Amino acid sequence: MDGPVTSDQAARRQTKYIFFTGGVSSSLGKGLTASSLGRLLKCRGLRVTMCKLDPYINVDPGTMNPFEHGEVFVTEDGGETDLDLGHYERFIDENLHKGSNATTGRIYSSVIAKERRGDYLGKTVQVIPHVTDEIKHHIRKLGETGVDVVIVEIGGTVGDIEIVPFIEAIRQFRRDVGRENVCYVHLTLVPYLGPSGEQKTKPTQHSVTELRSRGIQPNVIVCRSDRMISDDLKRKISLLCDVPIEAVVSAVDAANIYQIPLVLHEEGLDAYIMDALEVDPSAHPIDLGPWEHLVEQVEAAVRPVRIGIIGKYVDLPDAYLSVVEALRHAGFHHGARVEIEWVQAATVPDLLDRDGLKVFDGLVIPGGFGERGIEGKIAAARYAREHELPLLGLCLGLQVMIIEVSRSLAGLQGANSREFEATTRHPVIDLMDEQVDVADKGGTMRLGSYSARLAPGSQVARAYGVEVVSERHRHRYEVNPRYRDQLEATGLVCSGVSPDGRLVEFIELPGHPFWVGTQAHPEFKSRPDQPHPLFRELVGAALVRAEGRDPRLLDLGAVG
């Protein structure tokens, strides 16, 4: 996106706002539908940004259990946000920011802070107008960043009590900026009942009635179903919900999520919304060529490769959503079908007794917090090192790789992280409080984008193709610099460090097909048509192994 615009520039154009609400049931795919619309509008040359408004009272998902909320997505500026922002970034290929996600907790925190400062001049602080004004202010700021369109997804389901202030705010917003500048899109479920052999529109009717009772008449109704909505059903929904028939969009289950923009375009969603916003579609012809090429790549990815994810939260795959997507992006690049298998970290020692990791072509040890399953992750890192099994360690993954080398190769018996053993004799992973600005970085946590210098000629430097990179972080503990010489004496290479040379950002083992760790979370920057270099090379090395070639002959950057 472009930078902030001047007041004169803002006066010459009017940002358009599209609000997505959901009804009937959660998990229908509002985020993916909104992201797909964003991609279609970008394909028309429009400047797009996106936002998620979540009704839960937590200030952000950063302190929430992954089993409660799934992955915490991290933005460039250190925002801990909803996982839907990952979909937004992957589809519209724009870096979002802290302001791209707001919760009830954050909104109320801001209102209470203003009340304490006296900003309301002693008035009684109420949901209307103070809370709704704060929500509108948050939305309006997004439109001041040089974009043409702001797409806002309202979390939860219409009818939930906690969603009411957000619905009221977006109702008022249309009056504030003009009807021609706001479009409401409502996503509902049209279930198929097997016994009767019918698709039922009643849930959609009730959902729209609930939304209208809050003062919002949707411009578009997107109907989620496992099969196409017939023209007769569209006419019925059109009549009963008071929208034009061309504004009833059938969104069937797609073979892969990257087909969704093409499905919605065939239904005419983007053109209809542009008309509703008084933007001439003919003045913004669409170029779907690059996205169609991506979908062709996805469909052509058939070479099987098995990747095991050694995690703590494998019972909820959404806890590692960006890791999964980054692996799939790498597979698209190589024409490979990445078959992901979940391995509970605590079970790894038992698997090793049965040589159970032998079935994999590559491993990923993702990030996480807490002691549970750590010994299993360390054992997996050792197995991958000893058996030339490609491994990528992410954040905590790098830390367990350091612990493994310390114990197995450096002779540091009992080496551990202070996170897991406060009294360890060899704290090879430790807190580095002096490295962190406590006021801005969440206490002792490094959050957001940090730069690193890569060692010339290293695996990671060859993978990236440059020697200075920037990656997103979310962690408290660092490699203890007091042990760096002992670690490097084993042959381990600290192949990427912070600009001041103090913090280890990347490690690798020369001679190994791919045994690489990073303190960062590179999965957050992967795109379907631009796979992240580290995931690309991991899958490339795993593919070499899967096809029986000598992995030591791998030429980084050229596999596939």
Give pLDDT tens digits for 515-557: 999 999 999 999 999 999 999 999 999 999 998 855 544 444 4
Between strands 48-54 and 149-154, the pairing is: parallel
DSSP assignment letter at 530? B
Task: Say whether 292 sits in a helix, a strand or coil.
Answer: helix
Are 184 and 19 contacting, i.e. CB atoms less than 8 angstroms apart?
Answer: yes
- Chain CA centroid to CA 99, Å: 15
Backbone angles phi, psi at 257, to 5 degrees: -65, -20
pLDDT of amino acid 392? 98
Between CA 102 and CA 2 the distance in angstroms is 22
Q: d(Cα 256, Cα 254) in Å, to the nearest integer?
A: 5
E strands, 277-424, in order: 303-311, 336-344, 362-365, 391-394, 416-417
Give the strand pairing for 391-394 and 515-518: parallel
Termini Cα distance of the chain: 32
Residue 3: how many other CB atoms lie within 10 Å:
6
Confirm whether 267 is a catalytic residue.
Answer: no
* Active-site residue, selected from the candidate residues 43, 183, 223, 395: 395
Q: Which stretch of DSSP H or E encloses residue 54?
A: strand 48-54
C-alpha dihedral sign at 159, 181, 292, 303: negative
What DSSP state is assigned to residue 77? T
Q: Is the peptide bond preceding residue 499 cis, with omega within 30 degrees of 0? A: no
Residue 317's pLDDT is 80
Taking Cα atoms as reference points, which of 243, 208, 246, 248 lies closest to residue 224? 248
Closest CA to 471 of 307, 280, 326, 373: 326
Concerning whether 471 is annotated as a catalytic residue, the answer is: no
- Give me the catalytic one of 388, 419, 523, 537: 523
- Residue 129, Cβ density class (10 Å: 0-12 exposed, 13-18 middle, ≥19 buried): middle
Q: How far apart are CA 90 and CA 258, in angstroms?
A: 10
Query: Using the 8-state DSSP alphabet, how is residue 498 labeled?
Result: -
pLDDT at 192: 85
Coil, strand, or helix at residue 496? Answer: strand
Backbone phi, psi, residue 206, to 5°: -65, -40
Tens digits of pLDDT across the chain (560 residues) = 444 444 444 444 689 999 999 988 887 889 999 999 999 999 999 999 999 999 999 888 888 877 777 899 999 999 999 999 999 999 999 999 999 999 999 999 999 999 999 999 989 999 999 999 999 999 999 999 899 999 999 999 998 999 999 999 999 999 999 999 999 999 999 998 878 878 899 999 999 999 999 999 999 999 999 889 999 999 999 999 999 999 999 999 888 999 999 999 999 999 999 999 999 988 999 999 999 999 999 999 999 999 999 998 888 888 999 999 999 999 999 999 999 999 999 999 888 888 889 999 999 999 988 888 899 999 999 999 999 999 999 999 999 999 999 999 999 999 999 999 999 999 999 997 544 343 333 446 899 999 999 999 999 999 999 999 999 999 999 999 999 999 999 999 999 999 999 999 999 999 999 999 999 999 999 999 999 999 999 999 999 999 885 554 444 444 33
Which of 312, 368, 359, 355 shows the shortest CA–CA distance to 340? 359
pLDDT of residue 316: 84
Residue with tokens 């994999």: 360
Burial of 519 (0-12, 13-18, 19+ CB in 10 A): buried
What pLDDT shows up at residue 433? 58
User: Residue 549's pLDDT is what?
Assistant: 59
Question: Among 265, 333, 512, 521, which one carries the catalytic annotation?
Answer: 521
The answer to whether the pTM exceeds 0.85 is yes
- For 185, the token pair is 């899109």
What pLDDT does 69 receive? Answer: 76
How far is Cα 138 from Cα 431, in angstroms, rounded to an integer?
A: 35
Integer Cα distance of 529 and 510 in angstroms: 29
* 521 noted as active-site residue: yes
Of 158, 117, 145, 118, the residue nearest 19 (C-alpha): 158
Strand-strand pairing, 80-81 and 73-74: antiparallel
